[in-house]
Structure 1
Amino acid sequence: MERKSFDELYRDILQQKIDLREPLPPEYDPLHLDCLLHPKNYAPVFQTTQFQNCEEEIKRKCIQSCLFEAIKEEENGKVSIDTEKCTGCGGCIHSCKPEKLQGSRDLLAVMMALWKKKGEAYILAAPAFMGQFGKEVTPGKLRSAFRILGFDGMVEVALFADILTMKEALEFDKHVRKAGDFQMTSCCCPIWISMLRKEKWMDHVPGAVSPMIAAGRVVKRLHPEALTVFIGPCLAKKAEAREADVADAVDYVLTFQEVNDLFEAAKIDPKTLPERGRDHSSRAGRIYARTGGVSEAVTKTVRQLRSDGKSIQVKAEQADGVSDCRKLLERFRKGDSDANFLEGMGCKGGCVGGPKAMLSAKQGTEYVNEYGNAAKVKTPLENPYVMQLMKELGFDTVEALLEDETLFTRNFGKEFSDN
């Protein structure tokens, strides 16, 4: 009997064709079910069937497609994916012609966690969410949709991008004053960070967590038993959420495609729901979702930090997609750039170009820019909600972000962690 595919199992569960309280019917693969119910036990990309039946040329291309050397061939001829090394960049999925690779899906695990939750549950929405579920679906309507599903609230990660913008601007103002110094960012893209680790550039990465991690940590600081679920267009965020030094922040990561699957399965049409409006983020935090957004946000905030007008000029360069990131690093290594601020985005267009987005990068960018322009304030230093939240968390001044060693800091490199 030919077994059904991983996708078929996923869809059949969502359509309630399978009762998980009963033994799994023989036409389905138990490995597929385990991947769906326990995604943290697997890499962000996993094998739906074994590779040993693939032709040698296909196996070789698959191994070579991984920039981070996470795919290797064992002595028995099987190909395996290293859970620790896999960043979830998705390059191997696109290069696998037999389609034996799938991106991790946390949706069923999230549904189970919601049923068993002890405290509150929060959605952490990436800045790229605008327009992903329809032009008419506002942030307030999304909040209503998630309330129906059992979540207690939706937090915009753009608010925490505001805080990280201040932290990166402070780091820039402090460290780039050194002659010949430079800063590499953005902390929001896990693929870029993984590339910098591999190329040993981490001494010039400021010790800042990503906005996703900052949001999760703050929610758990304020609500210790909270379930935190990040939603975004990026498969690599699943890998980032599991990294040992930040695994305390985000319990699960859902892609926008998974969220759309959930809405369809629950027969929820967000655009028909009432508004539950909030407006907490500045333009700076909202535009993190597209290429150039981090550079623009930090540049404007650096200028505002020094009322004496003696701020260091930000000379930024951006890299768009993995190939461009590699080229930028190579040019910089050769001295072919005078930039002092490098922003890398692993996807073309930035986060809006993520592999699990519902829109094209162009459409996503348009929605992000519209939402950014609609913000009541332009930078985090003008944002009263940022200042209010920081005081609640024990930060009496903006400069106190440089002294933080818990909520918003990672020990990426020696230089930028030395305060």
Structure 2
Amino acid sequence: MTSPGAQDHLDGVRILDLFAGPGGLDVAAHFLGFKSVGIEWDRNACETRYAAGLPTIHADVSVMRETRFQEIPASVDVLAGGPPCQSFSVAGNGAGRRALDTVKEFIHRLVEGEDEAGIDRDLHSLGDPRTALVLEPLRWLLKAIETDGRDPYKVIVLEQVPEVLPLWEVYAKLLRGGEGRLRGVKYEAECWKLKTEQFGVPQTRKRAVLVARLPGAGAVRPPKATHRPFDVLRGRRTLAQPDMLPTEAAVPGTEQPWISMGEALDTASRAEGSPVDVSRLRTDDDMKFFVVSNYGSGGDPRNRGRRSSAEPAFTVTGKISRNKVYRSLAEYEAEKWDRFTIPESGVLQTFPHNFPWSGNDRAQQVGNAVPPRLGMHVLGHALRGAAPSEDELAAAGTWPDVPRTTTEELRRLGCGDRSQCPPDSHRVIRPRAEPSP
């Protein structure tokens, strides 16, 4: 696998990643052999992308569509992205969930050709401006269809928290119909709710995924699960037995067992030059620890969930550095805990062990990202109708070295004209201290 870089910049780029974050989908595309460019508003995420050698435009997605659309290469025929999910997420304030029916109406209004200025005014009245961003992929599609010299995107891949599935269903229905501003352009489109642990991600996380393709490439089908689901109820136990559950054994002819935190971190720690050092989490050379979540469970904020090292992690969020890691009940009683480092948190998201996390708010970057391994399965099925190969998945454990000159050139290309970057986004970055082991 060749190193990503800036030499040819956007030549031959096929995938446009809206709301690209630190690069979950771009990392997946890289290991599948596809070139991508990401649009990202947050400068910290951009710094990580530059360090990783990922082509990036530091811009607001809406502004980019309205005033800089021509900068996107004509070679781009795949539209991908995961709009910010905080207003829809269970962990957020719920403005998006309360507005789901209203947002469905906006989707129809956009396709039917209503004045967008009026739609924008109504959207801003919803309370949380991030809620409107779930419409941006549709607006980008309509922009491509309505721009002379541009072709409709051949493939669309969108992901979000499961609460957004009803909106993806509306998207899919409209894309299949091809009416209004779609100008007769019809897609084969389907959407599903996927569990990340069923695709080899060592955490439990649900995502709503939409895949749409222009006709001719066959029916759109969901990626096939490779691992068994994790039953979150099986982990209910007292603190006296926090780490007693073994990893499940494989059954011939069925999916593989889910991958545990201990297995993922141990594998990453054994890679050459890995920054993941789990020696502090070993007991008698075995990975035995348990994690107490920063979030409550069962509706009780005081009832912190627990997972053993033999189980998948909780959903990795921007607050993962607040989860407490214990090696024993004695440590728990003594209030002597550890924290996952940023590289370890990235591994639980299936980023390569040596991915160059940069800038501030690194835990938030990790938590906001699409797990690359899930991305490889979704993009693989969407773009070539097949799951990633074992060789591709194996290669995805290590990120290629990126020369500093490449990082500097990508930063120059992405942020060279700061007047086009988001307002106030170029304040001095002062990296925060990592949690102490």
TM range (shorter): under 0.3
